[in-house]
Amino acid sequence: MSNFGPYSYSRLATYKKCPLKFKLAYIDKIEKPYEPSPAMERGSAIHDSLEAFVLGHSEQLHPDIHEHYGQFFFSLREQYGSALIPEAKWALNWEWEVCDYDDTDCMVRGYMDLKFVPEDDNIQVFEYKSGNIYPEHTSQQCLYGTAALIQHPDKEGVDVTAIYVDKKQNKKIYYPASMLFEYKPMWMHQIMEIENAQPEDFIPKPHFMCRYCQFRASNGGPCVF
């Protein structure tokens, strides 16, 4: 049984950025009023628009998607149709086996914005990103690529593409199944670092993103920064 899981990319990234924020959010479970920013609301609208379009529930795409990526998603839907899986749920247990999302033995889990598995090609995973390009997105791509390879052991590799809507850039990374022997220990190391953390390890790590943290001092939160 996990001490602080099940883990997700967000949970792992939070600990790496600020162990105190991890503690306040996931251990102490301190709730703060949720007030989505305009940027967050726009990001959700873009995701919802793409999901509805991929499923054939709507012929309308968010205007910011339609302008640059409309033809791409239209062609994707025409070619793969029902094989496209938006918000593709995945979960792995402590033996690195596929399990149910709510399994009591679940170690790590998440949702892929879009996944499909061509018969004679690599697994394809897409993540939609509004706003800026951040280096840590590569870590998310690696984790989702690892999960996809475990879900489909008959495949030789997976392409994980981050679509940066505002920057109009795509970042595709190929992860071969032959490298799973490196990917799994890398993620296990990050997970076990949190599992084995002691109370004194949950310290704040101030950085420029503190201004957006719901636990910041200026927001009435318990953090000193």
Helix axes 180-195, 137-151, angle to 10 degrees: 120
Q: Give the burial class of 37: count Cβ atoms within 10 A of its Cβ; 0-12 exposed, 13-18 middle, 19 or more buried.
A: exposed
In angstroms, rounded to a whole number, what is the distance separating the alpha carbons of residues 166 and 204? Answer: 31
Would the pTM count as exceeding 0.85? yes
pLDDT at 219: 84
Alpha-carbon separation of residue 87 from 19, 128, 195 (angstroms)? 28, 11, 28
pLDDT at 32: 67
Q: Which residue has the tokens 């280096």?
A: 135
pLDDT tens track for 133-151: 999 999 999 999 999 999 9
pLDDT at 34: 62
Q: Is the peptide bond before 206 cis (omega within 30 degrees of 0)?
A: no
pLDDT tens track for 25-45: 999 999 866 667 788 889 899
Task: Name which residue leads in pLDDT, 203 or 221.
Answer: 203
Q: What is the mean pLDDT of the chain?
A: 93
Query: Residues 80-92: what's their mean pLDDT?
Result: 96
In angstroms, rounded to a whole number, what is the distance separating the alpha carbons of residues 101 and 187? Answer: 18
